[in-house]
Amino acid sequence: MATRPSRLLAAVALGAVSLASFPLLAGAQTSQFYSPPKVLKQGTSTTPVAGTGTVEVKVFVKKNGSVGSTQILKSSNHADDQAALEIARTSTYKPGARDAKPEDAYYTFVLRFSGSSVQADLGAGNGALAQANALIRAGKYDDAKTQLQSYITGHPGDKDANALLGVAESYLNDATASAAAFDQAGTIPDRFKVVAAHAYSDAAVDSLKAKNYDQAVTLAGKSLALQPSVNGLYIRGTAYENAQQYPAAIADLEKAKAQASSGNADPKSVNAIDTALATAYVFGGQTDKGIALAQDVKRRDPSNTQVDDAMTAYYNQQARAAIQAGKSDQAVADLESGARAVPGRAALLYTSAASVMAGSAKTADDWKKVKSEADKALALDPNSAQANFVAGIALGNSGDRAGATAALQKAKANVGTDSDLSGKIDTALAQLKK
């Protein structure tokens, strides 16, 4: 093949595959987050209240919001148990959710009986606060919010009012506003701690999604201070991880894993924790430990792509560092190690390795090696537009015009919406016609 097309094709090859194809912490940024069920409206009972006491009821809230089984967990007055069960069964619930998708979950309903009345312990205060509190119990959260905001305007230092506003905002699903209100309340009263912990946890997730990792760490810490939980540790560990504070991330995630393993955590939650922990291990310098854990996750859950993304991000990072140090051979070795360690991303990693090799190829023998590396990717994904493109470039520079044209045309047929790669394919095809 003529010298001019060879040079142009070689130059195009440099942009074949970006080594930044995956975010640094893909797994962590797409982790699953859990929100527990909430009571939207307290139910009623036909059984008379039988004196003073507190009853805790374990309620199975189905993903459609309906109630399944109910069970007394703790009672200081068993005469009130039947009334508590009736109230729990007739209450209206918002189901628990993982990554905003409703799912079956348990809710612990705490009911306080006094005289002839019964209520979930949301607290009470002066006349205005008592009215707002009643609105909350009736499920009229917008009305309660409006009344409380008006009251706080005239009484900005009223901690009980701010705490009640935090409750109302929480049930209106505005975690950020709820957390801000609880911050204004200062020390959270015991009766509000569960709601406030959930609000801080949800606000931490919102901060994670907004990539405000330091704020997510702070909010998750406030949640954990009020109500230690596996989910709170997982969220804060994930926030530390994305802030690249790996020792702190590992500490939280290891603790979350230990608690989840000793409790009744579902397999999805355990796998999510382990995915984040594997990521923290590899980026935190405990590479062998991270890879072993990632492989264990894949054995348990072959469909888990988050751990694939996390491990691929790690090997890409290693390759980028090697390239910046002028060690392209080491970059290729890193990418090939990644292909062996992450079979689900092997085609992409082999393609990236071929692209790195193409960047320094000079002789026909070099280009044959590039083609051989691209063939490893094509053996796994024959229709890969990127791998076919690199193979076409290698064939063109090896003097096989017909083979190069066929490979590039196949790349074009499978390029999809990747306009950048499509343009490079067109450029290479145009050069072959000269």
**Total Cβ atoms within 10 A of residue 198:** 22
The model's pLDDT over 246-293, given as tens digits with 9 standing for 90+, comes to: 999 999 999 999 998 886 778 888 889 999 999 999 999 998 999 999
CB 88 within 8 A of CB 57: yes
Question: Is the residue at 414 inside a domain?
Answer: yes
CATH code of 181's domain: 1.25.40.10
Question: Is the residue at 57 inside a domain?
Answer: no
Question: Is the residue at 81 inside a domain?
Answer: no
**Residue where a domain terminates, one of 144, 168, 188:** 188
Question: Is the residue at 321 inside a domain?
Answer: yes
Question: Is the residue at 196 inside a domain?
Answer: no
Question: Is the residue at 213 inside a domain?
Answer: no
Which pLDDT does position 35 carry in this prediction?
66
The model's pLDDT over 179-237, given as tens digits with 9 standing for 90+, comes to: 999 999 988 888 788 889 999 999 999 999 999 999 999 999 999 999 998 999 999 99
Q: How many whole angstroms separate alpha carbon 278 and alpha carbon 284?
A: 10
**Residue where a domain terminates, one of 159, 188, 217:** 188
Question: Is the residue at 50 inside a domain?
Answer: no
The model's pLDDT over 77-122, given as tens digits with 9 standing for 90+, comes to: 999 999 999 999 999 988 887 766 888 888 888 888 887 778 765 5
Question: Is the residue at 148 inside a domain?
Answer: yes
Which pLDDT does position 7 carry in this prediction?
38
**Residue where a domain terminates, one of 188, 208, 240:** 188
Give me the number of domains the chain comprises.
Answer: 2
> How many residues are recorded in the chain?
434
At 362, the pLDDT band (50, 70, 90 cuts) reads confident
Domain that holds residue 157: 124-188
- Say if residue 422 is in the same domain as residue 315: yes
Indicate yes or no: pTM above 0.95.
no
Which pLDDT does position 26 carry in this prediction?
32
